[in-house]
Chains A and B, each alone.
Chain A
């Protein structure tokens, strides 16, 4: 069969069979793949007799090619000559009444894929173990502070309980009623505070690792400073926080971001202690970048800085300049990865006069897009309904996000009208639900601005019943679709959206 000799120049194994199942030609790569020789192949009278015992379902595949003119097999695994193989076979019936079979050997790709998946899984497990060990270290540092924190409200609670006892001993209890109520309130308040401190710590230990929520950046920083307080004990180190503009709202895993700040603050404290700076201070500055897409958080100190030779190594796992037993060398490495998992970055900006780290995180609009919704947006961009919720109340954003998470609607959040306007310019949305009363541009003016920009997307107001009358006055002018009264349930929210989107 000289007409098929050109097949010898192909890398892929090829076999040509007649319709009567006899073998007309095979190229060199075929011999290599099936570890056979021309002599043995020439003895074969039927392709089915030869390949069906080796390749599972080969007979069905061959018959399919005859019946339909061509066929491609699924990835087929089989054991041959002591080795596992993975093949994809393509068969084509040609006009000469012969069938050309091309064997794509994907054994190496399959094995590599399986191997790297297993390694990746192992790496993920190791990473979560490393993350947990760093967390435990931070927990250890926090424990001292927590006991101190609990002591204050506990003292208040005990004192007030004692005062209640005194009051109860008074001859005329009616005269003491006001005092008892006051002292009782103090006890309750103190116990609530203790409960909050403990639940914060429990959150840090057990909170879902990947859950992101809307959080106030300034509050995260303040909490982190509290957690890092034991390290500041008996030092003159001052921490000042500067917020440029309104405190930004972030869509983050609060616990993980706290872990980053605690790490950065602890590192700064260690460096300041070592340097013995006269007026040691840690400066934290929060800035929303001009275009509103990113939040910058700078953490700097006036300590010893980082030497040139160490600058490139500081984000490496297990790299530490601290004495043995004082640092694991994991803090910055983990912090770097945490920030990366939030689509942000952690950089060392300067290290000559103290260390200056910068965290850049996406503002909530961008973060909302990349937080799980991204995949939905790509895969279901045609069919998915995107709902933008605008509210300056973090709790409302988190509530709506949770309510819509399992629904057919994709959630996007904005903490202000300004941010919402940026988002609608960036990503088309199918519906907007907005609070009416917001700082800066309020709900009414937000919708006016939308209409001015010819954005005709349906809008629902989300407010209290006190504003129903106001809604009625502007309903037609602004083409408002309805109102959702706070508080609302998941079903109410979803049915309100569904009624409009249909």
Chain B
């Protein structure tokens, strides 16, 4: 049995801050946030552990329900970014991915790191320089840059 998706939301002014926790798959139920008539949504994917093709389909269907709202994604883990790069519609026009995790590697510590980046830090598909929190060495970006950052052009 997979871990079910749970959703919490916090509303401030016209803005709904929605946190998604768990697995987004064919059983993902977005009813809880369907009826929120808000102008702006911030979706926090920080604790999404898995998303599959059926989950993406459910998510895109949900986005149609809030078609007039302004949408931002924050704290997108690598699994979300990989899916976003493959499936168009996850980021619809006007949506911004404000922050996301990117894979880095410390050759000194021989350890992989997931570093949270802001979209403004990536210029011309070049990853920002990041230092290892343990040894302060410069980290290596650990993916194909052009491919990994291609999602940043979606939604424009």
Q: How far is the CB of A496 from chain B (nearest CB, A)?
A: 56
* Segment 98-137 of A: residues with Cβ below 8 Å from B: 107-108, 112
The segment from B5-13, B126-134, B137-145 that touches chain A is B137-145
For the complex, what is the distance from the CA of A108 to the CA of B140, rounded to whole Å?
33
Enumerate chain A residues within 8 angstroms of B121, measured Cβ to Cβ.
Answer: none
Q: How far is the CB of A26 from chain B (nearest CB, A)?
A: 10
Let me know if A32 and B52 touch, CB within 8 A. no
* Residue A11 is within 8 A (CB to CB) of chain B in the complex: yes
For the complex, what is the distance from the CA of A31 to the CA of B54, rounded to whole Å?
21
Enumerate chain B residues within 8 angstroms of A287, measured Cβ to Cβ.
Answer: none
Let me know if A31 and B143 touch, CB within 8 A. yes
Let me know if B54 and A37 touch, CB within 8 A. no
Let me know if A112 and B112 touch, CB within 8 A. no
Let me know if A39 and B86 touch, CB within 8 A. no
Enumerate chain A residues within 8 angstroms of B144, measured Cβ to Cβ.
Answer: 8, 28, 31, 38
Let me know if A37 and B147 touch, CB within 8 A. no
Enumerate chain A residues within 8 angstroms of B105, measured Cβ to Cβ.
Answer: 37, 39
* Residue A29 is within 8 A (CB to CB) of chain B in the complex: yes
Enumerate chain B residues within 8 angstroms of A31, measured Cβ to Cβ.
Answer: 143-144
Enumerate chain B residues within 8 angstroms of A83, measured Cβ to Cβ.
Answer: 50
- Indicate with 1 or 0, residue by residue over A27-44, a CB within 8 angstroms of chain B CB atoms: 011011000011100000
For the complex, what is the distance from the CA of A242 to the CA of B54, rounded to whole Å?
55
Q: How far is the CB of B100 from chain A (nearest CB, A)?
A: 15
Instruction: Find the A residue at minimum CB distance from B86.
Output: A11
Let me know if B82 and A32 touch, CB within 8 A. yes
For the complex, what is the distance from the CA of A161 to the CA of B105, rounded to whole Å?
102
Offer 14 A-B interface pairs, CB within 8 angstroms, sorted by A: A8-B144, A8-B147, A28-B147, A29-B86, A31-B144, A32-B82, A32-B86, A37-B105, A37-B142, A83-B50, A107-B52, A108-B53, A112-B26, A112-B54
Enumerate chain B residues within 8 angstroms of A107, measured Cβ to Cβ.
Answer: 52
* Residue B103 is within 8 A (CB to CB) of chain A in the complex: yes
Q: How many A-B residue pairs have CB under 8 A?
A: 29
Let me know if B147 and A108 touch, CB within 8 A. no
Q: A28-B85, A108-B52 are in contact. List 15 more A-B contacts (CB 8 A).
A: A8-B144, A8-B147, A31-B144, A32-B82, A32-B86, A37-B103, A37-B105, A37-B112, A38-B142, A38-B143, A38-B144, A39-B140, A108-B53, A112-B26, A112-B54
Counting from the closest, the 3 A-B pairs by CB-CB distance are A37-B142, A28-B147, A32-B82
Q: How far is the CB of B142 from chain A (nearest CB, A)?
A: 4
Q: How far is the CB of A28 from chain B (nearest CB, A)?
A: 4
Q: How far is the CB of B145 from chain A (nearest CB, A)?
A: 10
Instruction: Find the A residue at minimum CB distance from B112.
Output: A37
Enumerate chain A residues within 8 angstroms of B143, measured Cβ to Cβ.
Answer: 31, 37-38
Interface residues on A, range: 10 to 19
* Segment 35-66 of B: residues with Cβ below 8 Å from A: 50, 52-54
* Segment 100-156 of B: residues with Cβ below 8 Å from A: 103, 105, 112, 140, 142-144, 147
Enumerate chain A residues within 8 angstroms of B86, measured Cβ to Cβ.
Answer: 11, 29, 32
Instruction: Find the A residue at minimum CB distance from B82.
Output: A32
Enumerate chain A residues within 8 angstroms of B85, measured Cβ to Cβ.
Answer: 28
A108 touching B54 in the complex, CB below 8 Å, given contacts A28-B147, A29-B86, A37-B103: yes
For the complex, what is the distance from the CA of A464 to the CA of B114, rounded to whole Å?
89
Instruction: Find the B residue at minimum CB distance from A115.
Output: B26
Q: Which of B112, B140, B147 has the most CB of A within 10 A?
A: B147
For the complex, what is the distance from the CA of A390 to the CA of B52, rounded to whole Å?
57
For the complex, what is the distance from the CA of A107 to the CA of B86, rounded to whole Å?
17
Q: How far is the CB of A32 from chain B (nearest CB, A)?
A: 5
Instruction: Find the A residue at minimum CB distance from B54.
Output: A108
Q: How far is the CB of B28 from chain A (nearest CB, A)?
A: 13
Enumerate chain B residues within 8 angstroms of A8, measured Cβ to Cβ.
Answer: 144, 147
For the complex, what is the distance from the CA of A179 to the CA of B142, rounded to whole Å?
107
For the complex, what is the distance from the CA of A83 to the CA of B85, rounded to whole Å?
22
Instruction: Find the A residue at minimum CB distance from B26.
Output: A112
For the complex, what is the distance from the CA of A89 to the CA of B50, rounded to whole Å?
23
Q: How far is the CB of B152 from chain A (nearest CB, A)?
A: 15
Instruction: Find the B residue at minimum CB distance from A8.
Output: B147
Enumerate chain B residues within 8 angstroms of A11, measured Cβ to Cβ.
Answer: 86
For the complex, what is the distance from the CA of A83 to the CA of B112, rounded to whole Å?
20
Enumerate chain B residues within 8 angstroms of A37, measured Cβ to Cβ.
Answer: 103, 105, 112, 142-143
